[in-house]
């Protein structure tokens, strides 16, 4: 085995912001992967397939290339021609940003990193034969597989929702293509002044805990300026706001007293799209001009179908040192699909951080080197409360080798004192940095 010499590789430097600098972290990877030393044959001939070109998958494909000096053959399979960001998509719904602002190209991954990108949908995975099959009929073998398919929305958890969605009456705009984001924006524009926009929040865990409250804030801002007699009602299945609660509530109280109403412990069980009525487990029905019903979520369909969702048949348990599935060797699951550790939100920032640990571990394994036994994760999550002001929460998570999970590092994170334009500027900076980090 080649001589091992460890270097500090600061992954945090790619994502600078006031919040992130508090949470900067380093990770050790092996300098044997530097260009001066010959790569072991296993690394040179390795085929790694990445399924899903979202925050987890795009980052993983880049860092596999970077850490292996482009010696691994990386293939990214993604059906969408362009990357459309969920972060900042609520600003498109609120009308202050255009969809083009959050639409990015995959071209630099190909150009700068040599990633082979296949525009296709993976229809099945054979974990024993180590190959994937795509919707167009291609069969592709792999040595290691990375799976970052996001979440699947469980429409059947709310009666009538699937039908309403098929008719285009209720959309979620919670990932997938950008079409739903634009559709929801058009629905809002078509609302008459005085009509209510009702958004429902599922019980945790779900993708992006503060996302529904950010969306409510953006729509309330739009109503305040363009439909002053309309209001947003947030119907939350949880006992309280699930992230940055006091900050959201303070801003709403001071800025949207007539345009936003929050109701906790409202679990929606059925919708009647014909009359735009929500039915709850306990409370009275509610009728609104426009419904945005967010159902329960689980790991992306391909992960569930492959039998990887071994936690409540919803989430995929992984070994946090390399994000390998605990039921299928050589398959590494990232991002929203995993069963997370304590206080690890389903966020773009987290998916990006998972990807770097998994990529480093795969490169180390293929190079017959030791996998880092003490990885760190960070999370920074900004939420816009109007088009310019934002609030944030940040945390650092350290691997605990006894409990084999990530634990929050005390006194290493932070939260906004209050909403500000300065945090809004940092939030736009965060988005630009993470897009560059994932996609170039
Ligand atoms: C409204 C909203 C606002 C948000 N705001 C923030 C924020 O401010 N900050 C933050 O950190 N996070 C935010 N998030 C959360 C963030 O978007 C997710 O946590 C992140 O996208 C998760 O990354 P992922 O790789 O797991 O999934 P995704 O980014 O969704 O990527 C999954 C990809 O897999 C592809 N795919 C799925 N199945 C297959 C298949 N069978 N074959 C091939 N490809 C497949 C999909 O097309 C998709 O491109 C927000 C989410 C929403 C909905």
CATH code, 241: 3.50.50.60
- The minimum-distance atom of ligand 1 relative to the CA of 90 is 1
In terms of phi and psi (left: phi > 0; alpha: psi -120 to 50; beta: otherwise), the region of 246 is alpha
- Are 80 and 94 contained in the same domain? yes
- Report the separation in Å between the CA atom of 32 and the middle of ligand 1, taken as the mean of its atom positions: 33
Range of the domain at 233: 155-295
**For the chain, percent of residues with pLDDT exceeding 90:** 88
* Closest ligand 1 atom, residue 346 Cα: 19
| Residues 439/83, Cβ–Cβ less than 8 Å | yes
DSSP 16: -
Asked if 311 and 317 touch (Cβ cutoff 8 Å), the reply is yes
* 384 and 428 Cβ atoms separated by less than 8 Å: no
Angle between helices 348-366 and 55-67 (to 10 degrees): 30
Instruction: Among 16-30, 212-226, 270-284, name the one with the lowest average pLDDT.
Output: 16-30
Please check the confidence at residue 276 and state whether its pLDDT lies above 50. yes
Ligand 1 centroid to Cα of residue 129, in Å, is 28
pLDDT at 176: 76
> How much of the chain exceeds pLDDT 70, in percent?
91
**In which band, very low, low, confident or very high, does the pLDDT at 43 lie, cut at 50, 70 and 90?**
confident
Query: If pLDDT is split at 50, 70 and 90, which confidence band does 16 have?
Result: very low
Number of H helices, E strands in the chain: 12, 27
* Count of beta carbons in the 10 Å neighbourhood of residue 36: 7
Same domain as 82, residue 55 = yes
Rg (CA), the chain: 22
Q: Give me the pLDDT at residue 41, please.
A: 63
The verdict on 214 and 113 lying in the same domain is no
State the DSSP string of 107-131: HHHHHHH--EEE---EEEEETTTTE
Write down the mean pLDDT value for the chain.
91
- Is 168 in contact with 187 (CB distance < 8 Å)? no
Whether the CB of 345 sits within 6 Å of ligand 1? no
* Same-domain check for residues 195 and 74: no
Task: Say if residue 311's pLDDT is above 90.
Answer: yes
Same domain? For 52 and 171 the reply is no
CB 74 within 8 A of CB 115: yes
Q: How confident is the model at residue 8 (pLDDT cuts 50, 70, 90)?
A: very low
Residue 246: other Cβ atoms inside 10 A? 12
Instruction: Identify whether 412 is part of a domain.
Output: no
pLDDT tops 50 at residue 333: yes
- Does ligand 1 have an atom closer than 6 angstroms to the CB of 230? no
Based on the domain organization, do 240 and 276 belong to the same domain?
Answer: yes
Indicate whether residue 207 lines ligand 1 (CB < 6 A).
Answer: yes
122 lines ligand 1 (CB under 6 A): yes
2 band by pLDDT with thresholds 50, 70 and 90:
very low
Asked if the structure places residue 4 within a domain, the reply is: no
Which of these three, 266, 295, 324, is where a domain ends?
295
Q: Report yes or no on 21 lying in a domain.
A: no
Q: Calculate how far, in angstroms, residue 12's C-alpha sits from the geometric centre of ligand 1.
A: 21
Coil, helix or strand at residue 62:
helix
Ligand 1 atom nearest residue 337's Cα? 26
101: in domain: yes
Residue scoring higher pLDDT (237 or 411): 237
**245, part of any domain:** yes
Q: Kindly give the distance from the C-alpha atom of residue 436 to the centroid of ligand 1, in angstroms, as a whole number.
A: 16
Q: Is the same domain home to 277 and 160?
A: yes
Pair (75, 38) in one structural domain: yes
Is the beta carbon of 211 within 6 A of some atom in ligand 1? yes
- DSSP states along 153-202: E-GGGSBTHHHHHHTTSS---SSS-THHHHHHHHHHHHSPTT-EEEEEEP
Burial class, 81, CB count within 10 angstroms (exposed 0-12 / middle 13-18 / buried 19+): exposed
Binning pLDDT at 50, 70 and 90, where does residue 411 land?
A: confident
In this structure, the answer to whether residues 207 and 282 fall within a common structural domain is: yes
Q: What is the pLDDT of residues 168-194, one digit of tens each?
A: 899 999 997 779 999 999 999 999 999
Q: What angle do CA 418, 424, 426 make, to 5 degrees?
A: 105
C-alpha 90/C-alpha 425 separation (Å) is 16
9 close to 372: Cβ distance less than 8 angstroms:
no
Is residue 233, in this structure, part of any structural domain at all?
A: yes
Q: Which atom belonging to ligand 1 lies closest to the Cα atom of 57?
A: 25
Q: Give the residues across from 395 on adjacent strands.
A: 379
Residue 80 in contact with ligand 1 by CB distance below 6 A: yes
- The answer as to whether 383 is a domain residue is no
Per-residue pLDDT, 270? 97
Q: Check if 290 has its Cβ closer than 6 Å to any atom of ligand 1.
A: no
Mean pLDDT score, 397-414 = 94
Q: Which atom of ligand 1 lies closest to the CA of 349?
A: 11
Number of domains in the chain: 2
208 lines ligand 1 (CB under 6 A): yes
How far, in Å, from the CA of 101 to the mean position of ligand 1? 17
Do 49 and 127 fall into the same domain?
A: yes
According to the model, what pLDDT value does residue 298 have? 98
* Residue 288, ligand 1, Cβ within 6 A: no
Among residues 295, 319, 336, the one where a domain terminates is: 295
pLDDT of residue 17: 38
pLDDT of residue 15: 39
pLDDT of 97 > 90? The answer is: yes
The arithmetic mean of pLDDT across residues 75-88, rounded, is 97
Same domain, 319 and 348: yes
- Residues 261, 142 within the same domain: no
Of 255, 271, 295, which one is at a domain's C-terminal end? 295
Our CA dihedral for 295, 190, 85, 382, rounded to 10 degrees, sits at -80
Which two three-digit tokens encode residue 140? 């592709």
**Quick one: tokens of 413?**
């994170």
Residue 397 lies in a domain: no
Q: What is the pLDDT of residue 45?
A: 86
Q: Can you say whether the dihedral through the CA atoms of 144, 149, 154, 160 is positive or negative?
A: negative
């Amino acid at each position: 085995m080649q001589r091992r010499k460890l270097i500090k590789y600061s992954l945090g430097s790619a994502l600078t912001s006031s919040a992130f600098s508090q949470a900067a972290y380093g990770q050790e990877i092996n300098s044997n992967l530097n260009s001066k030393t010959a790569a072991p044959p296993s690394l040179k001939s390795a085929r790694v397939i990445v399924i899903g070109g979202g925050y987890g998958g795009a980052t993983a494909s880049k860092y596999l290339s970077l850490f292996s000096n482009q010696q691994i053959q990386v293939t990214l399979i993604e059906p969408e021609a362009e990357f459309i960001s969920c972060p900042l998509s609520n600003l498109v719904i609120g009308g202050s940003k255009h969809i083009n602002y959050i639409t990015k190209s995959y071209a630099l991954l190909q150009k700068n990193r040599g990633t082979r990108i296949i525009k296709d949908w993976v229809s099945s995975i054979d974990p024993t034969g180590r190959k994937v099959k795509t919707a167009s009929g291609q069969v592709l073998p792999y040595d290691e597989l990375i799976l970052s398919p996001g979440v699947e929305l469980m429409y059947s958890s709310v009666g009538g929702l699937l039908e309403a969605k098929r008719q285009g009456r209720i959309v979620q705009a919670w990932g997938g293509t950008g079409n739903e984001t634009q559709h929801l924006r058009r629905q809002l524009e078509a609302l008459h002044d005085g009509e209510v926009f009702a958004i429902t929040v599922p019980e945790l865990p779900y993708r992006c805990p503060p996302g529904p409250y950010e969306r409510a804030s953006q729509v309330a801002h739009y109503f305040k300026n363009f439909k002053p007699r309309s209001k947003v009602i947030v119907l939350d299945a949880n006992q309280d706001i699930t992230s940055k609660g006091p900050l959201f509530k303070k801003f709403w109280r001071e800025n949207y007293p007539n345009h936003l109403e929050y109701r906790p412990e409202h679990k929606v069980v059925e919708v009647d799209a014909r009359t735009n009525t929500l039915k709850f487990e306990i409370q009275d029905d509610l009728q609104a001009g426009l419904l945005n019903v967010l159902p329960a979520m689980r790991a992306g369909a391909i992960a569930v179908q492959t039998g990887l969702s071994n936690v409540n048949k919803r989430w995929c348990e992984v070994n946090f040192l390399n994000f390998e599935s605990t039921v299928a060797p050589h398959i590494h699951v990232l991002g929203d699909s995993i069963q997370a550790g304590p206080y690890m939100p389903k966020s773009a920032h987290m998916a990006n951080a998972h990807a770097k640990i998994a990529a480093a571990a795969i490169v180390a394994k293929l190079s017959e080197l030791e996998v880092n036994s003490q990885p760190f994760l960070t999370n920074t999550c900004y939420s816009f409360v109007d088009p310019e002001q934002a609030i944030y929460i940040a945390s650092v998570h350290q691997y605990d080798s006894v409990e084999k999970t990530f634990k929050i590092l005390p006194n290493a994170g932070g939260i906004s004192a209050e909403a500000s334009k300065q945090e809004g500027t940092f939030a736009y900076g965060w988005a630009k940095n993470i897009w560059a980090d994932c996609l170039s």
